[in-house]
């Protein structure tokens, strides 16, 4: 079976599983009561979110497939080995969306049936959300470092300082949001020291390698020889950078998730739809960038 068809079938399996676990169980009466909704309206909202997610997952899978095609075309060459690592990282980031959404749908279904498992469900959800992008950014970081070494250009002292300063403040804001959020127990279901050491710490580390990788790809794009080749890296670098920014935004938003429950349904939907659409941009950029690079290797 070809890679493309394997990817397509896994996309369909994820989608069907998600649809089944969101639409088949009876709507949660607590949600209907909280937002004053009829079961039909809730189902319609679920369908719009499923459609959006299907689009974003498709953009992710498509972007990965294009990047994989490009990596395969150049795998024997020096840059090819680094692009392969980068592609592996993008694979984990692409899988993060369907895996976390499907796992969340399944776990929430279990939690509705067994209320005692709610805390365990939330904890597992939080770790799934962390692990896949963490592994993804580690691979992207290794690939980006390889490319940067190929262009014989390491980050300057000044840029390293700027990155560290940015990271210190991003980390501090995240720590502040996690530590002081009124509904911390509902979001994390863990003691603060465990949240700080196993969630906040790894996230800040992940953002660091993500930022560093983005910067190294940006430097590679600027310093590597080849006017045409350089330009083709623009969109890919932008897409990866955007994913790092989105990951930071997601985590900030997660700390506020319990507070967001107090918003009206329209505001809540506006936030969910906007986040999903903004996330889709990064995968579309990666797909377009990979297509441009692939074109150089095909003509």
Partner 1 sequence: MSSRTDNDLYKKVVEVSYVYLGPAADRFIVRQIRGHLNKEPEQLQKNDLINLIDWISLAMAVLVEEEELVSQYQTELKSLVS
Q: Which residues bind partner 1 (CB under 8 A)?
A: 73-74, 77-79, 150, 224-231, 295-297, 299
Q: Which token pair is 181?
A: 């959020």
- Pick between residue 33 and residue 227 the one whose CB is nearest to partner 1: 227
Q: Write out the two tokens for 81.
A: 């080995």
H-helix segments, 74-156:
78-113, 118-150
Measured from the CB atom, the residue of 69 and 79 that comes closer to partner 1 is 79
Q: From CA 266, how far away is CA 191, in angstroms rounded?
A: 33
Element housing 18 (H / E): helix 3-23
d(CA 299, CA 287) in angstroms, rounded, equals 19
Closer residue to partner 1, CB minimum distance, 153 or 183 = 153
What Rg value do the Cα atoms of the chain yield, rounded? Answer: 20
Calpha distance 174→199 (Å, rounded): 11
**Which candidate, 92, 93, 111, places its Cα nearest to that of 21?**
111
Residue closer to partner 1 by CB (options 34, 78) is 78
Shortest CB 215 distance to partner 1, Å: 19
Q: Do 109 and 162 form a contact (C-beta atoms < 8 A)? A: no
189 vs 230 by CB, closer to partner 1: 230
Report CA dihedral (234, 237, 242, 243) to the nearest 10 degrees.
150
Smallest distance, Å, CB 178 to partner 1?
A: 43
Shortest Cβ distance from residue 84 to partner 1 (Å)?
A: 14
CB atoms within 10 A of CB 111: 18
Query: Closest approach of Cβ 83 to partner 1, in Å?
Result: 10
**Residue 296: CB minimum distance to partner 1, A:** 5
* Cβ-contact 171, 204 below 8 angstroms: yes
Which residue number, 26 or 299, has a Cβ lying nearer to partner 1? 299
In the complex, minimum distance from the CB of residue 180 to partner 1, in angstroms, rounded to a whole number: 49
> How near is the Cβ of 106 to partner 1 at its closest, in Å?
44
From the centroid of its chain, how far is CA 208? 15
- Closer to partner 1 by CB, 177 or 296: give it: 296
């Amino acid at each position: 079976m070809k890679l493309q068809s394997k990817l397509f079938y896994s996309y369909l399996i994820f989608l069907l599983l998600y649809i089944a676990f969101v639409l088949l169980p009876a709507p949660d009466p607590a949600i209907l009561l909280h937002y004053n909704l009829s079961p039909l309206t809730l189902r319609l909202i679920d369908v719009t979110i499923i459609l959006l997610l299907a689009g974003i997952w498709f953009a992710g899978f498509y972007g990965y497939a294009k990047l994989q095609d490009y990596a395969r075309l150049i795998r024997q060459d020096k840059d090819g080995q680094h692009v392969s690592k980068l592609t592996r990282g993008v694979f984990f980031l692409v899988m993060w969306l369907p895996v976390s959404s499907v796992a969340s749908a399944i776990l929430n279904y279990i939690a509705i049936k067994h209320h005692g498992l709610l805390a365990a469900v939330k904890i597992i959800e939080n770790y799934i959300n962390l692990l896949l992008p963490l592994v993804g950014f580690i691979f992207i970081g290794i690939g980006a470092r390889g490319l940067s070494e190929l262009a014989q250009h390491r980050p300057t002292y000044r840029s390293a300082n700027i990155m560290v300063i940015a990271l210190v403040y991003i980390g501090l804001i995240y720590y502040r949001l996690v530590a002081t959020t009124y509904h911390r127990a509902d979001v994390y279901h863990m003691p603060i020291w465990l949240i700080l050491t196993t969630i906040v710490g790894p996230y800040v580390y992940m953002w660091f390698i993500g930022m560093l990788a983005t910067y190294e790809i940006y430097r590679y794009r600027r310093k590597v020889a080849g006017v045409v080749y350089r330009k083709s890296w623009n969109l890919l670098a932008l897409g990866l950078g955007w994913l790092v920014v989105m990951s930071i935004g997601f985590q900030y938003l997660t700390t506020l998730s319990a507070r967001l429950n107090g918003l009206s349904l329209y505001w809540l939907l506006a936030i969910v739809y906007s986040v999903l659409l903004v996330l889709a941009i990064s995968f579309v950029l990666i797909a377009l960038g990979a297509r441009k690079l692939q074109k150089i290797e095909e003509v």
